[in-house]
A and B are shown apart, each in its own frame.
Chain A
C-alpha cells in the first residue's frame, strides 16, 4: 500500500545517509540522461510512484536525498545486493541525473 507520509520508509534513514556522504548534492543533473538510466529502474520500480511488495516508491523524492541514498548503496554501506550492484556502476553525474529526473516526476496514483 502506498505510504501516506511524504517521506516513505525507504528514505527513512536519509539523515544518516546524508551524514555519510558529506552533505546534500546538487540537483542540477542531466534529466535526459536520467530518463535513459531510469529505464533500468523501471524493471522493478513502478513509474506511477507506488510502492509494491518489497519494491519501494522511487519518484518525487528530493534530489539530494536520492543522491545520498544511492551513494550509500554504491559504497555498500547499505544492504541489498540488487541495489548495490546497480548503484555500483553509477558515476556521481549519473546519480545526479537520475535524482533530477525522478524529482521532476509526480506520483500519478
Chain B
C-alpha cells in the first residue's frame, strides 16, 4: 500500500498537468509502459521477455491485428506436406495468461512520436515510454511489371502468411504432369534469403511424390547468386534430376512482364506461356507503420543502433526483425528473436535499472531440400563499427553424409518447437 501511495504522489508531482485524469490513470502511469507493434518473431519475443523478466514492473501492451499468427517459417514444410496448417498456427493467449501482457487486437495506424503514443484503428491511443516496432515486411507490388495487389491471388506470392500460404499449396497440388511452375525470386534485401530455394525444393518434392515427373520448376532470379547456392544446386540435381532449373539475370536477361490472364511470363530471353502456376515473390520493404513513422526512408528499411536495436531516428523506439537493417544478419525469424532479446534487455535497463550486458546475436536457417535432407547456414554476430557484423559463420557443404542431413532435420523440427515456445508460451 505504502509503495502505491508513494508512486502516486511522485507521479502526481512529475505529471502535475495530467492530475485531472483521475486516480486510476495516474496510478496506471506509475509503471513504465512499453508498447510492442507486431506479434511476430520479433514483437512476440520482445513482449514476452520484457514482461517475463521484469516480473510485472513494466506494463506491456502487444498490438497485433490478427487473432492467430501463422509462421512463414516452416510454411514451406506445410507446402511440402510435412506439416499441417494447424501446426504452423499460433495464438497469443498464453502471453496474456502467463506474463500479464495486454493484447490490443487492432492495427496500429500511426505513431505519434512527439506525444509518444500509438494510435490504433479503433481510435484508441496507447501512450508509451518505450516502443518496439516489429511489423515485418510489405511487398513492392510495382516491382514486377504486370503484377499487382489485384492479381496476387492469380499469381500468389506466399511471402506473407495465412491465405497466401494456402494458395501456394493449392496451386502446387493442381499442377498437372508436364506443367511448368515459374517462380520469380526477389531481389535483395528480402525476408528469408534461402526461402525461395527451399520452396522450389518442396515444389519438386510434391511433384515427384505425385508421379508428375515431367513437370518443371523454373526459377527466374534477379540476383547473380543466392544463399546456400552450391549446396542447393548439388542437392537438386541429386534428388530431382533436371526438374528444377535456376536462371540468373545473365541467362534470362531480365523479367520484362507477367500476364495473370494467360499465365505468361516474359523475360528478355524467352516467353513462358500457359504456365501451370506462377509464384511471384516481389521486392520488399519495411512494414507500413515503420515507414509512415519516419523510421525508414521511402521504400526502404529502418536503420538501428547495433548495440541496442534502437532506431537511429528516435531513442524511444526499437525496430526489430525484417523491418530493420541488421547488417550481416539475414531477415529471419531466428534473427528477429535474437534481436528482440537485446532490445528487451536494453529497455529493462533503461526503465527499471535492470542489469545489462553487451549485445550479442545469433542466427541459423535450416532448409529442407528433400525428406530427411536438411541443410543449414548460420553465424554469430556482434556490434562492430556501427553495424551488426558476423564474427563467425558456417554453411552446409555439398556431399555431406545422409546421417548429418537427417540430424539437421531433427534439429530444424526441434528449433521450430523451441522458437515458437520462446515467442508464445
Contacts and interface: CB of A to CB of B under 8 A. Distances in A.
A55 B338 CA distance: 18
Which secondary structure characterizes the binding site on chain B? Answer: helix
Contacts of B360: 40, 89
Interface stretch (A16-24, A65-73, A79-87): A79-87
Given A40-B338, A55-B411, A89-B360, A46 B380 contact: no
B376 interface: yes
Interface in B355-391: 355, 357, 360, 362, 364, 376, 378-380, 382, 391
Nearest to B340: A39
Given A85-B380, A88-B380, A89-B380, A36 B413 contact: no
A13 B147 CA distance: 56
Nearest to B344: A39
B341 A47 contact: no
Contacts of B419: 43-44
Nearest to A53: B414
Interface string A22-49: 0000000000110011011011111110
A57 to B, nearest CB: 11
A82 B341 contact: no
Nearest to B393: A85
A54 interface: yes
A19 to B, nearest CB: 25
B414 A43 contact: no
A85 B392 contact: yes
Interface in B121-161: none
A48 B364 CA distance: 22
Nearest to B342: A39
Interface residues of A, number: 25
Interface residues of B, number: 34
A52 interface: yes
Contacts of B391: 89
Contacts of B274: none
B20 interface: no
Contacts of B234: none
B410 A36 contact: no
B350 interface: no
Contacts of A88: 380, 392
B357 A33 contact: yes
Nearest to A41: B418
B417 A52 contact: yes
Contact of A44 (B357, B379, B393, B418): B418
Given A33-B357, A40-B362, A85 B379 contact: yes
Nearest to A79: B404
A54 B421 contact: no
B306 interface: no
Contact of B413 (A45, A53, A81, A84): A53
Given A52-B413, A54-B414, 6 more contacts: A40-B362, A43-B337, A53-B410, A55-B418, A82-B394, A84-B394
Interface of A: 32-33, 36-37, 39-40, 42-48, 51-55, 81-82, 84-86, 88-89
28 contacts: A33-B357, A40-B341, A40-B360, A43-B334, A43-B338, A43-B362, A43-B415, A44-B418, A44-B419, A48-B421, A53-B410, A53-B411, A53-B413, A53-B414, A54-B407, A54-B410, A54-B413, A55-B414, A82-B376, A82-B378, A85-B362, A85-B380, A86-B362, A86-B380, A88-B392, A89-B360, A89-B391, A89-B392
Closest 4 CB pairs of A and B: A54-B410, A55-B414, A53-B414, A53-B413
